[in-house]
Structure 1
């Protein structure tokens, strides 16, 4: 066991070792990792590409895409040429600084209280954020509030299942390319039926599909032969899933 003075010294020099699960301060601790293709947030790059595949080109001049939980703006390169004004909302100042460097209009705010007007967005994305919020209903309400009539909601998140808890936490936090230790609290993983129900209450009917890494790409990534892993759709939504719907 560490003596108390040594514990205090390690807290000062390595605060990330003592963060609780789902502590937003972890993202500041790892600020230098966002844009490293083989860094701590590697999988978020793969997911950003899969999320962007669900976003069609803008259908009008001045179209707005609001990126909830935008982090350092990893979605931005995948939206290039699609014609959107990309607004990113996040709590992390260090991440938003990086997002702005990649062409994102950075807005510091909580996804439970988004400081943007009703109906301002043609598209709202909520990528890998709903499994971090303490009030799913409120987060969904905010996402839907931002959508204009006919606007598109795109979500990817982790399901509230034993399989997701095991694979996304017990396994993934221990393998290269997986999420950093403690970044998720499995208690907050998303009840799929509740998500569908909450979106429907705001006029958005969701379609769900599962998502998994391409196995061939994963092997090549682990061998250092590629920096990107493609995500593949699956029938099962029991671990990682995408959800898409339009506001009626």
Structure 2
């Protein structure tokens, strides 16, 4: 049997306090949050350069600001929203304007954002409609919503929890509650109710890059298109 490369957490699944426990891991390329670096790069690739001076990108569940290096030169004022004070301190050191707040009730005004990023956060909340409503509320007309998350399928539960929590580069044990994985149809429906039409695509790590990463030969693993959205997927849409 595989053994996890991460220490077991004494906390319950999906306990936000785990992020404070692992605060030193955020920026380690081979640390507990390695895969979040790979996903941040893939998410940023979906964000075009700012279309106007003073454009704002709101990063929901920003953690320690892993998206920031991949937005350099795109012209956005990067605002990060998170509950974790230790993560926000690190995000601020990487040029993110930190806002301590809950994604269920974001303390920012309506229509303030040209882009809203919701990366690896929807599978951690128990009220999807409210979080989607908040993300869409923040968008200007024509603003872009960018999401990546885990699908509510047996395959995702097996690969993202049973398997991934036991291998290097995978999520720390207990960081996910598979009961909160995202119903894709519900996500599309909720966004449509807020005038955002989503396009979904599956993604996965490059197997070549992952093998090189496991061998210690690279610190970068690129994400590639996957033939299905049944495990890890991205979603993109503009507010009409």
Gaps of 5+ in 1: 1-14
Whole-angstrom distance in 2 between the partners of 1:191 and 1:17: 27
- Give secondary structure in 1 for the equivalent of 2:9: helix
> What residue number does 2:4 align with?
none
Q: Residue 143 of structure 2 is aligned with which of 151, 154, 170?
A: 151
Residue 230 (str. 1) matches residue 231 (str. 2):
no
> What residue number does 2:98 align with?
106
> What residue number does 2:51 align with?
59
TM-score of the superposed pair, with normalisation by structure 2 = 0.97
Residue 80 (str. 1) matches residue 72 (str. 2):
yes
Whole-angstrom distance in 2 between the partners of 1:86 and 1:64: 6
Greater RCO between the two (CA within 8 Å, min separation 6)? 2
> What residue number does 1:189 align with?
181
Is the CA contact (8 Å cut-off) linking 2:61 and 2:118 kept in structure 1?
yes
Runs of 4+ more than 3 Å apart: none
Gaps of 5+ in 2: 1-6
TM-score of the superposed pair, with normalisation by structure 1 = 0.93
| RMSD (CA atoms) | 0.9
Larger radius of gyration: 1
Residue 199 (str. 1) matches residue 191 (str. 2):
yes
Q: Residue 167 of structure 1 is aligned with which of 143, 156, 159?
A: 159
Go from structure 1 to structure 2 and tell me whether the alpha carbon gap of 1:105 and 1:16 turns closer, same or farther (over 3 Å shift).
Answer: farther
Is the CA contact (8 Å cut-off) linking 2:203 and 2:229 kept in structure 1?
yes
> What residue number does 1:6 align with?
none
User: Which of the pair is proportionally richer in helix?
Assistant: 1
> What residue number does 1:180 align with?
172
Is the CA contact (8 Å cut-off) linking 1:16 and 1:29 kept in structure 2?
no
Is the CA contact (8 Å cut-off) linking 2:9 and 2:173 kept in structure 1?
no
Residue 245 (str. 1) matches residue 240 (str. 2):
no
Q: Residue 136 of structure 1 is aligned with which of 128, 142, 151?
A: 128
- Give secondary structure in 2 for the equivalent of 1:168: helix
